[in-house]
Chain A
Amino acid sequence: EAEVAQSPRYKITEKSQAVAFWCDPISGHATLYWYRQILGQGPELLVQFQDESVVDDSQLPKDRFSAERLKGVDSTLKIQPAELGDSAMYLCASSSLLGSGNTIYFGEGSWLTVV
């Protein structure tokens, strides 16, 4: 069964350092999402891509977070500089089409701890 691939699975970084996460969606999935999930809370959408275009980044803290999906396939989420409050699980997800009713499949997530 095809899966969304993410790396690294775990990352510990010091405050003010840069950190990057990579995601490879299910083959053929045009829509890619990055979510942040703080322990005990629900997933929060950071950015949504349709192919290489950003569809929604209204909740992305753009002063320190950036995301790109240059060729419309894999994607990178970067945080610079990292802050203590960024400690969370970063989930990448994909779906086959943009629009309501398309199942979203999640990767295993990247756990970030900022010390």
Chain B
Amino acid sequence: GENVEQHPSTLSVQEGDSAVIKCTYSDSASNYFPWYKQELGKRPQLIIDIRSNVGEKKDQRIAVTLNKTAKHFSLHITETQPEDSAVYFCAASPNYQLIWGAGTKLIIKP
């Protein structure tokens, strides 16, 4: 079955700098890749997603890239702000299932 690995587990960046979180997947049938942000004590919320027919998608300071050949996708956050501090989860969907990564704790240093 599908397996999703996410790195790093913790990422600390200076406010204003960029942050990149990477995920790899194993099942070439996966065709949908969402990213969720979860603030402490709150529910996961979708921040951006990408489908396998697209290589890159951008929404203001957030972008996601997908490399189907290498089976990896990444989340890019530019001009990081304190409110970006949270745990970020990637996921991959080969069928009706959504397989989650283990999460990355993003810390924004003032």
Chain A's interface size range is 20 to 34
Number of residue pairs spanning A and B whose beta carbons lie under 8 angstroms apart? 50
Of B32, B44, B89, B102, which is within 8 A of A100 by CB? B32
| Chain B hits for A108, CB < 8 A | 42-43
Interface residues of B in 30-60 (CB under 8 A from A): 30-32, 34, 42-46, 49, 51
Q: Does B44 contact A106, Cβ atoms closer than 8 Å?
A: yes
Cβ of A56 within 8 Å of any chain B Cβ, yes or no, is yes
Chain B's interface size range is 20 to 34
Is the contact region of chain A dominated by helix, strand, or loop, or is it mixed?
loop
Of A42, A91, A99, A103, which is within 8 A of B101 by CB? A42
Q: Does A101 contact B46, Cβ atoms closer than 8 Å?
A: no
Nearest Cβ in chain A — how far from B32, in angstroms?
Answer: 4
Cβ of B97 within 8 Å of any chain A Cβ, yes or no, is yes
Question: B residues within 8 Å of A by Cβ?
Answer: 30-32, 34, 42-46, 49, 51, 89, 93-98, 100-103
Question: A residues within 8 Å of B by Cβ?
Answer: 31, 41-43, 45, 48, 50, 55-56, 91, 98-101, 103-109
